Amino acid sequence: MSHESDAFVFFGATGDLAHKKIFPSLHALVRRGVLDVPVIGVAKAGWGLDELKQRAHDSIAEHDDAFRHLLSLLRYVDGDYEDPETFAALKRELGGARRPLHYLAIPPSLFGTVVTALQAAGCADGARVVVEKPFGRDLASATRLNEVLHSVFPESAVFRIDHYLGKEPVENLAYTRFANTFLEPLLRREHVHHVQITMAEAFGVQGRGRFYEEAGAIRDVVQNHLLQVLALTAMDPPAEHGEEAMRDEKVRFMRSLRPLTPRDVVRGQFVGYRDEAGVAEHSTVETFVAVRLHADSWRWAGVPFLIRAGKQMPVTATEVVVQFHEPPTRVFDRGTPNRLRFQIGPDLRISLDVRAKTPGEGMTGCDESLVLDERPHDEMEPYERLLGDALKGDQQLFAREDTVEAAWRVVDGILGDATPIHFYEPGSWGPAEADRLLPRGAQWLTPRLSGDQA
């Protein structure tokens, strides 16, 4: 589909996600002139349009002309998702709209109910649907969800949103790789010793203990965010231009990854997690996970990919580090190996760690960092970018059915209590047991924040 949507419908309009992310993003889209169609909120809250407008007022800090125009676009339907009259009312609010975009900011358990009701009410013809993560809890449930969506919408009309893919630094990772000739020949087994991806969060579950008990770190960030980042780091160059070519290479790489087994996983839980509201007294849910992955391909054969993610870490930062092999012979003193670093958060920073001569008479060296790009936090929020793309029908930054299922295949065997829990202190880098995943002579690399020296 290449047409632009002529209405925006968001289910779950009274929820927390709408308050924190959707309303501010819609405001930004109106300000940029991207959004100028009816915006219809749907929820079961006993509200009317005035209450929805007040919710938007409370959500958006700047009440400028764009805000006032957004209010003029707002409509509201209050009703139960299992009541056909709710969708009949939605059909009336849509009026002459023939290409609506339906955003399901609701639990996945309701997807089937809503999409079936949209079809029955005549609201699905020519429409697109955006669905929130988590997209399933395992491979089997993700496959069932895809079947439910495809019973009403073709794959070309399905947009699986992952806000991480809307981040400017994540997009820049792929751009930097394929826009620079010198990089691409280096990113292969002949030159790369291993790759590390760290996603560290200095905070805990922030009152979301009940949610985290259902998710855990593997489902929350590894299966989606971090496997997608790994794919952008390691996939082959697309054979042609276009959004499908990029997504084809992503899934090709994802399918080359061996499914994880318990020996490639270490799970951890920070001390104090069990005291959080909504957390079971003897919970074995992981708040930290480290995994070691291998790809069965000529490009990456024998190269370990190491991913770790955790809460209550020393810093909040996400970084990809490609560590190169050391020189084959030792001509001068040996220092830190060359490393290519892609910092994804909190700011964008791309740098190359190199060895340079120390000024003076002796032939000794020091470690230096060549900064290729460095910018502050992206001004455009991920939801603004992604919803704008969905309105235009651009699927490039959205996960395709086969990619989602390939990612679940990788982690399916290590979900739940497949491996034991190791406790770690808040403010540490997780349990020491994670060190056993490292290749010989390697160590976990601390994310380098902007301004840090080599």
CATH of the domain at 39: 3.40.50.720
Domain assignment of residue 395, yes or no: no
Q: Which two tokens stand for residue 373?
A: 């790009």
Confidence of residue 1 (pLDDT cuts 50, 70, 90): very low
Domain assignment of residue 144, yes or no: no
pTM: 0.90
Question: Does 119 share its domain with 226?
Answer: no
Q: How many Å from the N-terminal Cα to the C-terminal Cα in the chain?
A: 47
**Listed residues 75, 108, 132: the one ending a domain:** 132
Report pLDDT for 454: 46
Instruction: List the catalytic residues.
Output: 225
Confidence of residue 390 (pLDDT cuts 50, 70, 90): very high
Question: Does 217 share its domain with 319?
Answer: yes
Q: Is the dihedral of CA 132, 137, 143, 149 positive or negative?
A: negative
pLDDT tens, residue by residue, 196-210 = 999 999 999 888 888
Domain assignment of residue 189, yes or no: yes
Report pLDDT for 42: 96
Question: Does 52 share its domain with 180?
Answer: no
pLDDT tens, residue by residue, 180-189 = 888 888 999 9
How much is the average pLDDT of 439-452? 81
Question: Does 278 share its domain with 414?
Answer: yes
Question: Does 207 share its domain with 265?
Answer: yes
Report pLDDT for 379: 67
How much is the average pLDDT of 212-232? 92
Question: Does 104 share its domain with 219?
Answer: no
Question: Does 128 share its domain with 174?
Answer: no
Domain assignment of residue 389, yes or no: no
* Amino acid letter for position 438: L
CATH of the domain at 193: 3.30.360.10
**Listed residues 107, 132, 157: the one ending a domain:** 132
> Do the beta carbons of residue 338 and residue 352 sit within 8 Å?
yes
- 114 is in which domain, residue-wise? 7-132
| Backbone angle region of 253, left / alpha / beta, with phi > 0 → left and psi within -120 to 50 → alpha | alpha
Question: Does 103 share its domain with 204?
Answer: no
Domain assignment of residue 446, yes or no: no
Residue that wins the pLDDT comparison between 245 and 426: 426
Residue that wins the pLDDT comparison between 370 and 446: 446
Neighbouring residues of 25: CB distance < 8 A, sequence distance ≥ 6:
381, 383, 384, 387
pLDDT tens, residue by residue, 54-80 = 999 999 988 999 999 999 999 999 999
Question: Does 279 share its domain with 357?
Answer: yes
Domain assignment of residue 150, yes or no: no
How much is the average pLDDT of 334-341? 82
How much is the average pLDDT of 440-450? 85
Structural domain count of the chain: 2
Question: Does 351 share its domain with 428?
Answer: yes
Confidence of residue 331 (pLDDT cuts 50, 70, 90): low
pLDDT tens, residue by residue, 97-115 = 999 999 999 888 889 899 9
pLDDT tens, residue by residue, 255-286 = 999 999 999 999 999 999 999 999 999 999 99
Q: Of 165, 166, 141, 88, nearest to 385 (Cα)?
A: 166
CA angle 281/287/288 to nearest 5° reads: 140
**Listed residues 132, 151, 183: the one ending a domain:** 132
Question: Does 42 share its domain with 119?
Answer: yes
Domain assignment of residue 139, yes or no: no
pLDDT tens, residue by residue, 104-150 = 998 888 898 999 999 999 999 999 999 987 788 899 999 999 999 99
Report pLDDT for 335: 65
Domain assignment of residue 311, yes or no: yes
Question: Does 223 share its domain with 84?
Answer: no
Report pLDDT for 405: 94
pLDDT tens, residue by residue, 29-41 = 999 999 999 999 9
Asked if pLDDT for residue 2 goes beyond 60, the answer is no
Q: Of 222, 247, 265, nearest to 407 (Cα)?
A: 222
